């Protein structure tokens, strides 16, 4: 039977978490709620507006969808690139240096764990900072693509920002509607479709990455879920595996998750506040 969400004071929550963590090898599984304190919005938080992410099938099957995506991303990706780790990221990296956390599995594409100093990180869904050709598999940096898109669309960013302002959405894009005049570019090597090196909805996480993540979970003694609603199977499967192997699962998330039934302890709280309370003396 799952543990009910705690309604006790924050200090007691932290004490129970500290007791569970003490002496155990911990692996963290993080989602979008981990990065909201860095100014990156999430899809499913209690205060998040409804959003419909683009699917892999839409992106690959319709040039208009691709143009719309890249126009939005061309405005929004630098916001993610400029984002900095928050107190929760830094605390988690500190716990790794202290030998408490053995690794991080993240569903986020923002690279903030790496920027914070975490060394053993598996980016389950890839990274905003790379672009892949779907034809020849060539990789280029997002900055390199931005230079090409600037040349193909002179003045685009300035004109859109001046006319409407820019609202940043999840996954390094911006909320704009008028994109029909945006010019997309293709792979310089083979002319193939360029796609962010990110796992889209409807696309599978690469098998070697999944196997490495399961191996990381298998070696831990506590799985700490941070800021994920576990709505998609790419995260929930690790919680299910941990529960199956009798590994305690602690979930820290604002609002319910699909994994609550597996939780040894559930904290309805923010990641930064919980992690910094867990590491006051480190």
Q: State the catalytic residues.
A: 125
Q: Is 171 marked within a binding site?
A: no
Q: Is 141 marked within a binding site?
A: no
Q: Is 14 marked within a binding site?
A: no
Q: Is 50 marked within a binding site?
A: yes
Q: Is 228 marked within a binding site?
A: yes
Q: Is 192 marked within a binding site?
A: no
Q: Is 86 marked within a binding site?
A: no
Q: Is 191 marked within a binding site?
A: no
DSSP string of the chain? -PPPPP-S-HHHHHHHHHHHHTTS-EEEEE-GGGTGGGT---SSSTTPPP--PPBHHHHHH-HHHHHHHHHHHHHHHHHHHH----HHHHHHHHHHHTTSEEEEEE---S-HHHHHT--SEEETTEEEEEEEETTT--EEEHHHHHHHHHHHSTTHHHHHHHHH--EEETTTEEE----TTPPP---TTT-PPEEEEEPPBTSPPPHHHHHHHHHHHHT-SEEEEES----SHHHHHHHHHHHHTT--EEEE-SS--TTGGG-SEEE-S-HHHHHHHH-TT-
Q: Is 259 marked within a binding site?
A: no
Q: Is 110 marked within a binding site?
A: yes
Annotated binding site for NAD(+): 31-51, 107-110, 227-229, 253-255, 271
Annotated binding site for Zn(2+): 133, 136, 187, 190
Annotated binding site: 31-51, 107-110, 133, 136, 187, 190, 227-229, 253-255, 271
């Amino acid at each position: 039977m799952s543990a009910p969400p705690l309604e006790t004071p924050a200090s007691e929550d932290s004490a129970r978490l500290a007791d569970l963590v003490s002496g155990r090898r911990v692996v963290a599984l993080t989602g979008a709620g981990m990065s909201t304190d860095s100014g990156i919005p999430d899809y499913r938080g209690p205060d998040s507006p409804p959003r419909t992410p683009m699917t892999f099938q839409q992106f690959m099957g319709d040039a208009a969808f691709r143009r719309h995506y890249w126009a939005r991303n061309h405005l929004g990706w630098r916001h993610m690139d400029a984002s900095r780790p928050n107190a929760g990221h830094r605390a988690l990296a500190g716990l790794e240096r202290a030998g408490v956390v053995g690794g991080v599995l993240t569903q986020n594409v923002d690279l903030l764990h790496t920027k914070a100093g975490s060394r053993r990180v598996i980016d389950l869904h890839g990274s905003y900072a790379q672009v892949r050709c779907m034809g020849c598999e060539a990789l280029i940096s997002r900055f390199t693509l931005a230079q090409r898109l600037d040349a193909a669309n002179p003045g685009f960013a300035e004109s859109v920002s001046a006319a409407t302002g820019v609202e940043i959405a999840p996954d390094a894009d911006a909320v704009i509607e008028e994109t029909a005049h945006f010019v997309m570019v293709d792979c310089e090597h083979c002319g193939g479709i360029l796609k962010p090196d990110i796992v889209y909805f409807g696309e599978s996480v690469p098998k070697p990455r999944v196997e490495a993540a399961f191996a990381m979970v298998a070696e831990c003694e506590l799985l700490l879920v941070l800021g994920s609603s576990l709505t998609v199977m790419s995260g929930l499967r690790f919680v299910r595996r941990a529960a199956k192997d009798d590994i305690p699962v602690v979930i820290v998330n604002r609002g319910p998750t699909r994994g609550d039934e597996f939780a040894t302890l559930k904290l309805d709280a923010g990641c930064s506040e919980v992690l910094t309370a867990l590491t006051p003396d480190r």
